[in-house]
Structure 1
């Protein structure tokens, strides 16, 4: 078994990164996981507790080296229209949402896409880093209702 360097803490800002790792929204919620940096070198994340990363931090290895965390591009829906009303419907479903001045961004979900279209939203598919608003209760995450299962909602 290969002995990987171990990341034992996270800096909230990158100081002197020797490498980077790109993680999607789900991948940025972790405690213990083996990852591969952009250079192809593996390392083990072994943090004292589950951590929610925004994508602008750095893992700190035992020897002091830093690996910068980046939010990886992933499939999203860009939602435009009556943003206050649409945000209410998205939030009512406990769905993580990135809020911009002229658009809302959520992860691709065919059920939510259909609902938003029925509400008059303009919905476009895109691939970009997804960095939603943090939760109000400290973890920085809302626990969304996934629609990746094999049944349909009426």
Structure 2
């Protein structure tokens, strides 16, 4: 049995004074119905109407009106350097979530992407840190990686 239930969330800056913190990876922050654990040991039943992507700094709004802050967890990533504009285009063309920094890109660890980026002249370094990639093209949501192979219809115009 969960200690609390959250049926809604609030974006960063739209809430204050959390009762606890929940540290989650990028993949864990994409949820609809799941029990999550806080740093302080509370369990929260997340019961959203729709699958939702939570960002670092957002908060779960519990049914009793309290907030549980969401923090991005450290995870295995690849730090990519080189011709960032060209590399970002190829990463985006693969619909791969990407965190864009001034002097590097961060993506989740993936052997196929590592090989592709190496062939494009990128330097790839393994790092462990929070992952907070760019949202969707319209400022919300997230991108979804997928295979451009035969099962997907191959070349589909992008």
Query: Which residue is equivalent to 1:48?
Result: 49
The two structures have a TM-score, normalised by structure 2, of 0.86
Distance in 2, matches of 1:3 and 1:134, equals 30
C-alpha RMSD of matched pairs (Å): 1.4
Residue in 2 aligned with 1:127? Answer: 128
Q: Which runs of 5+ in 1 are unaligned?
A: 147-154
Q: Which residue of 1 aligns with 2:155?
A: none
In structure 2, C-alpha distance between the alignment counterparts of 1:117 and 1:61, rounded to whole Å: 45
| In the alignment, structure 1 residue 75 sits paired with structure 2 residue 76 | yes
Deviations 1:51-110 (A, max 9, x none): 111111111111111110001111000000000111111111111111111001000001
Counterpart residue number, 1:152: none
Aligned to 1:26, the other structure's residue is in SS state: coil
Aligned length: 145
Deviates more, 1:134-143 or 1:15-24: 134-143
Deviation at residue 4 of structure 1 after TM alignment: 3.1
Runs (4+) of structure 1 exceeding 2 A deviation are: none
Say whether residues 1:29 and 2:66 are aligned partners. no
Listed as ranges, the gaps of 5+ residues in structure 2 are 148-158
| DSSP-derived class of the 2:146 partner | coil
What is the CA–CA distance in structure 1 between the aligned matches of 2:125 and 2:102, rounded to whole Å?
16
CA distance in 1, matches of 2:107, 2:2: 38
